[in-house]
Amino acid sequence: MNRRSFIKGAGALPLAAALPAVGAPQSAVTGGLPTSRPLSRAAQRGYLPNVPLQAHTGETFNFYDDLVHGNRIVLLNFFVVACAEGRCPTTNQNLRKVQDLVGERMGKDVFFYSISLEPEKDTVPILKEYAEDIFEVKPGWLFLTGKPADIELLRRRQGFFDRDPERDRDVSNHSSTGRLINDSQERWAMVPLVTSPKNIYTTLITL
């Protein structure tokens, strides 16, 4: 499946329809850290691995325990700092406008997580400059990196992969689509991030 065309519908989807097929993993701790959190069905099936990630702020978070679990709406996307085709700057500029539309809910019950597909290159200092100097992110929006194997696990569990191995290895082929997650309500959706900020915002708040 081409990541550029992966689930372009923006509406909230039932759990079974929204989750990609990843081979029936048994728990969220597969490939990640143990968690004492009550697990949603998505977490139980391994779609939300509890891998450690480092933020542009210098903090370390466990993906499920710290970033997804609880009464919150999450917008997740993958990007590269050195994006040759220009989709990532466009995507992140749109998200910069969406965070303003979200207003006071940003960092309270709405969170954005932008995860680097080149974790070995996109280190914490590089992400800090990218996030704060270029996009002036507010609390609630984290740019994240981590171990390549953990990023790869998370990317695949979220369905951002191409079945053609050669295309999948091509980082320039990354998607400009965002995953929306409301784990407490077990609601998932996808939204194109190159659409208007108002459209992204409208889809986000209806989750």
Least confident range from 14-23, 36-45, 113-122: namely: 14-23
Tens of pLDDT, residue by residue over 109-160, are: 999 999 999 999 999 999 999 998 888 898 999 999 999 999 999 988 987 7
Angle at 120 between CA 118 and CA 123, to 5 degrees: 95
Alpha carbon dihedral 73, 68, 13, 28, in 10-degree steps, equals -170
Quote the domain boundaries for residue 85: 3-205
Q: How far apart are CA 35 and CA 50, in angstroms?
A: 7
At residue 136, the pLDDT reads 85
Q: How far apart are CA 115 and CA 69, in angstroms?
A: 17
Tokens found for residue 74: 């999450």
Q: In total, how many domains does the chain have?
A: 1
Contact 28, 43 (CB under 8 A): yes
Per-residue confidence at 87, pLDDT binned at 50, 70, 90?
confident
Q: How far apart are CA 125 and CA 55, in angstroms?
A: 10
Residue 96: give its domain's CATH number.
3.40.30.10
Tell me the pairing of strands 52-55 and 141-145.
antiparallel
pLDDT, mean of residues 184-205: 94
Global pTM reads: 0.81
